Amino acid sequence: MSTTADATANIEIPAHVPPELVHAVGLTEGAEFLAAPHQFMADLHDKYPPIFFSPSETNKSAWQLTKYDDAFFVLRHPEFFTSAGSGPFPRDPDDYFNIIPLEIEPPHHRKYRAVVDPLVSPKAIMAMEGAIRGLANELIDQFIDKGECEFAKDFGRPLPVGVFLDIMGLPRDMMDEFVRWAMGLLHAQDRQIAQQVMGEVTAYLQTVIAEKQVTPDGGAVSAIVHGRPGGELMSAKEIFGFVFFLFIAGLDTVFATLNNIFVWLAENPDRRREIMAEPDNMANAIEELLRVFTVTFSGRTLTQDYELRGIQMKKGDRVTSVLPACNYDPEIFPNPREIDFHRQRKPTLAFAGGVHSCMGAHLARLEIRICIEEFLRRIPEFELKAGTKIEYWPGGVVGPKVVPLTWRT
pLDDT digits (tens, 9 = 90+) for 27-53: 999 999 999 999 999 999 999 999 999
User: Structural domains in the chain?
Assistant: 5-406 (1.10.630.10)
Nearest to 111 by CA among 227, 17, 9, 264: 227
Q: What CA–CA distance (Å, rounded) separates 113 from 22? A: 37
Q: What CA–CA distance (Å, rounded) separates 282 from 372? A: 9
Nearest to 63 by CA among 348, 236, 315, 266: 315
Question: Who has greater pLDDT, 71 or 85?
Answer: 71
Q: Which 8-state DSSP code applies to residue 22?
A: B
Q: What CA–CA distance (Å, rounded) separates 67 from 228? A: 39
Q: Vertex 287, ends 274 and 360: CA angle to 5°?
A: 135
Per-residue pLDDT for 95 more than 50?
yes
309: left (phi over 0), alpha (psi -120 to 50) or beta: left
Using only C-alpha atoms, what is the Rg of the chain? 21
Per-residue pLDDT for 136 more than 90?
yes
Q: Which 8-state DSSP code applies to residue 280?
A: G
Beta sheet of 148-150, edge-to-edge order? 148-150, 404-406, 383-384
pLDDT digits (tens, 9 = 90+) for 373-396: 999 999 999 999 999 999 999 999
DSSP secondary structure letters along 39-96: HHHHHHHHHS-SEEEE--SSS--EEEE--HHHHHHHHT-TTTEE-TT---S---GGG-
Task: Give me the pLDDT at residue 317, please.
Answer: 97
| Listed range (27-31, 135-139, 312-316) with the worst mean pLDDT | 27-31
Per-residue pLDDT for 203 more than 90?
yes
3-state secondary structure of 104: coil
Question: Who has greater pLDDT, 188 or 384?
Answer: 384
The per-residue b/e assignment along 118-127, b for 16 or more CB within 10 angstroms, e otherwise, is ebbeeeebee
Q: What CA–CA distance (Å, rounded) separates 143 from 140? A: 6
3-state secondary structure of 361: helix
Q: What CA–CA distance (Å, rounded) separates 84 from 299? A: 9
Per-residue pLDDT for 156 more than 80?
yes
* pLDDT confidence bin for 191, thresholds 50/70/90: confident
Per-residue pLDDT for 135 more than 60?
yes
CA distances from 37 to 20, 25, 131, 220 (A): 24, 12, 33, 33
Task: Give me the pLDDT at residue 86, please.
Answer: 83
Q: Which residues pair with 321 in a beta bridge?
A: 65, 298
Q: Is the four-CA dihedral 45, 46, 50, 55 of positive or negative sign?
A: negative
The values of phi and psi at residue 238, to 5°, are -65, -45
Per-residue pLDDT for 208 more than 90?
yes
Per-residue pLDDT for 3 more than 50?
no
- Work out the average pLDDT over 357-370: 96
pLDDT digits (tens, 9 = 90+) for 264-304: 999 999 999 999 999 999 999 999 999 999 999 999 999 99
Nearest to 291 by CA among 328, 255, 240, 241: 328
Identity (one letter) of the amino acid at 363? L
Q: pTM here?
A: 0.94
Task: Give me the pLDDT at residue 190, please.
Answer: 76
Question: Who has greater pLDDT, 13 or 193?
Answer: 13
Q: Mean pLDDT score of the chain, rounded to an integer?
A: 94
Task: Give me the pLDDT at residue 374, please.
Answer: 98
Q: How many CB atoms lie within 10 A of CB 228?
A: 11
* pLDDT confidence bin for 8, thresholds 50/70/90: low
Per-residue pLDDT for 7 more than 70?
no
